[in-house]
Chains A and B, each alone.
Chain A
């Protein structure tokens, strides 16, 4: 598609609908974004019933989406309790959806140049292990559908499968900064719907075999700076700590 066609295509779309951003998801059971914007009356009932305070009310920076419900996966993910679809008065969240495994809020994808496990494998394949012995696997461990939605290849490399519900728990828990796993919202991978926000969500979907060619020198440098032989780290406690324990010698 030429640039001119792309621009024309974008102008033909309703600018009030379809605004996507990574890790910003509609609550579970949401119909497609365009339909959602038509149906959602901003009544905030999904926000009210959410026991995890995951669903939040969009603010001014979300433009005309202001007032609509969002799950910001990097702040607080959706824990798939399935309360919000049952209270939606207009059917913007499908009220017939009861099974959490059928939720498709989006799909997770791992940025392999940031993920600690991928960096570890890359380092190991390159032959060096100095300072790289950091294996995380948090996404695998926190996923509510471990071994279904996320699988470990070579026992080390997390791979997303198409059973991913897009709940974002892995994103919330991911220890790297910036997050090395993120959720592409449903609809963002659909060029017709997302327009300018179109993003190929299946970039490394179910493709983890070749451990060669990862980049991410910054992340490696950061990890190289971690040194066990330096000074003792200081921790802050809100209670008194003692340096010595009776009967023990260091």
Chain B
């Protein structure tokens, strides 16, 4: 499929649909339609169950027991992770959607011209740092003995607050955390929460596999123009870092790649094919 790709348009569509679903699901439940129910901590579609793996992991860790409901509910997210990469973050997460809006506003205000491109050492440091932060967070939850990380899981909080808003017409204090994050997003570097701290995203990215969908330069027609680097919201170099744990398969780099118009250069692949020497 050579030519200008429209991944971003599809992504926006999916993101908007997921964002709307947060409000529509509780409304449907008020009308006693229970086909789809839940929040982004845990959701049911018909008989298929899915739950946030880190939430279930914490519950299993603190109660030192696993039951069949917990085990079944993490199967779908982990399979999605293994096959499609970290698509939850870029295609579905409501917080990521909001933050993309924030960075759009920031660009309009002239606060930041483009996303920073990091050096390889800095990228490595980032990857190590986020894993260390995750381990610290999990240790903290282990010490407390309760699923503490769910208090800072941005997508879960947003969706449960949407539920409370639709059902009871008020919001609880947890929303303050999200507002604080959004304000911080204006102050710190773009996507600081998603990139470094988000426990949900970091835990999910552990299941990203080399054989799943990931970004790859598949042809020699790359002109090394660097436009993909500038477009990457995570500050990666898509030409080399396609299988990095930080990459969340948003596809922005594929959209901006000028070489894709002539010949397919940068694309999503799955499996260990097309090992093009760079």
Contact = CB atoms under 8 A, between A and B. Distances in A.
A89 B69 contact: yes
A56 interface: yes
Q: Indicate the size class of the contact surface on chain B.
A: 35 or more
Nearest to B38: A45
B37 interface: yes
Interface string A53-72: 10011111000101100000
Contacts of B69: 88-91, 95
8 closest A-B pairs by beta carbon, nearest first, are A43-B41, A60-B173, A41-B55, A38-B63, A38-B62, A43-B42, A89-B42, A44-B160
B260 interface: no
B37 A59 contact: no
A128 to B, nearest CB: 47
Q: Is the interface of A mostly helix, strand, loop or mixed?
A: loop
Contact of B42 (A16, A45, A51): A45
B163 A89 contact: no
Highest count of chain B CB atoms <10 Å: which of A17, A48, A53: A48
Interface in A87-134: 87-92, 95
A170 interface: no
A16 B145 CA distance: 8
Given A56-B168, A90-B56, A48 B63 contact: no
User: Range of interface residues on chain A?
Assistant: 20 to 34
Contacts of A90: 51, 56, 59, 67, 69-70
A172 B261 CA distance: 68
Given A47-B163, A48-B29, A89-B42, A57 B172 contact: yes
Given A38-B145, A44-B164, A56-B168, 5 more contacts: A43-B160, A45-B38, A45-B41, A48-B167, A57-B172
